Amino acid sequence: MADPNIPPAPSIPGTEHVHSGKVRDLYRFTDGDYAGRLLMVASDRISAFDYVLETTIPDKGAILTRMSLWWFERLRDVVANHVVSTDVPAAVAGRAVVCEQLAMYPVECVARGYLSGSGLREYEVSGEVCGIALPDGLSDGSRLPEAIFTPTTKGEVGEHDEAMTYDAVAREVGPAAAEELRDLTLRVYTTAADMARERGILLADTKFEFGRRDDGRVVLADEVLTPDSSRFWATSEWEPGRPQPSFDKDIVRGWLMRESGWDRTSGDRPPALPDEVVERTRARYVEAFELLTGESW
């Protein structure tokens, strides 16, 4: 079901609107050089607790797009990606890419190198994450002995992604594809984590989406290694045993939980964000971009 708080996607000449998610709007080119290709546009929308908030974060879409492109370029020797061109309509310049149309796998491919978030909650109950047994004595922020593949379902807008075991993935996409998705996920994660660590950033966990070309080749798609899809921590601030400050929307979540007066169980939508929270959140996204890429925003 479409989220009623997502505004209607604007019309873009030469395209037809295909889908809108929490952050991105997807179009298909109907004519011109890119006919049949997709146009993926990153908006400034932000979501929290499975709600798309009414307040936007200025420049967020452009930051996500530029960061994804930076990573796609550096990972191209590890895995092919779906980007065709950055030559996009002027109305969405800087926050959109032309990309291939792929047969997308119905799995969020998550890699974890540290214990946090939903993985921590599952571990505290069962000692496992997605069916993978972990050592005793781990706490919030603990580094895992090795990176693990912890996939989830792809929930619709407003729905939770649900944890999956590797066997469930194999049943969903077939044993050969499951093995390839797991191996690619861990290879990309390990490569990116090493690069981020050199820049003073820990890549605690991240999610990837993969699709398949007509020739069967698996391709990295959607966004990659942004604060929306990844949990980044500053190496200098890492201290296992407590929640770690993240380069993401933790500022928004914290305000909603502790300061806004909003009751998550009420069924009411979250309130609008105050300007100060918007400014701090934008600054955190910019900081992540600049630290990782070495470029100025």
**End residue of a domain, out of 99, 119, 147:** 99
Tell me, what CATH number does 157's domain have? 3.30.470.20
Tell me whether residue 59 is in a domain.
yes
The answer on 203 and 115 residing in a single domain is yes
Residue 5: what pLDDT? 73
The answer on 85 and 202 residing in a single domain is no
Residue 154: what pLDDT? 84
Tell me whether residue 149 is in a domain.
yes
Tell me whether residue 10 is in a domain.
no
Residue 2: what pLDDT? 52
The answer on 52 and 146 residing in a single domain is no
**End residue of a domain, out of 233, 248, 263:** 248
Residue 153: what pLDDT? 93
The answer on 150 and 236 residing in a single domain is yes
The answer on 135 and 54 residing in a single domain is no
Q: Which domain holds residue 59?
A: 15-99
Cα–Cα distances in angstroms (integers) from residue 183 to residues 61, 147, 154, 188, 244, in the given order: 29, 11, 19, 9, 28
The answer on 198 and 89 residing in a single domain is no
The answer on 114 and 86 residing in a single domain is no
Tell me whether residue 295 is in a domain.
no
The answer to whether 210 touches 184, Cβ cutoff 8 Å, is yes
Q: Which two tokens stand for residue 267?
A: 């069924």
Amino acid in position 289: F
Domain tally for the chain?
2
The answer on 196 and 222 residing in a single domain is yes
The answer on 108 and 81 residing in a single domain is no
> Per-10-residue mean pLDDT for the chain, 297 residues long?
74 96 96 96 94 95 98 97 97 97 97 96 96 97 98 74 94 98 98 97 98 97 96 96 92 94 92 97 96 95
**End residue of a domain, out of 77, 99, 121:** 99
The answer on 144 and 83 residing in a single domain is no
Residue 7: what pLDDT? 85
Tell me, what CATH number does 59's domain have? 3.30.200.20
Amino acid in position 18: V
Place of tokens 């939903």: 118
The answer on 151 and 112 residing in a single domain is yes
Residue 1: what pLDDT? 44
The answer to whether 46 touches 23, Cβ cutoff 8 Å, is yes
The answer on 117 and 231 residing in a single domain is yes
Range 114-117, long-range pairs (CB < 8 A, 24+ positions):
114/141, 114/142, 114/143, 114/144, 114/202, 114/204, 114/205, 114/231, 114/233, 115/139, 115/140, 115/141, 115/142, 115/144, 116/140, 116/141, 116/204, 116/205, 116/231, 116/243, 116/244, 117/205, 117/231
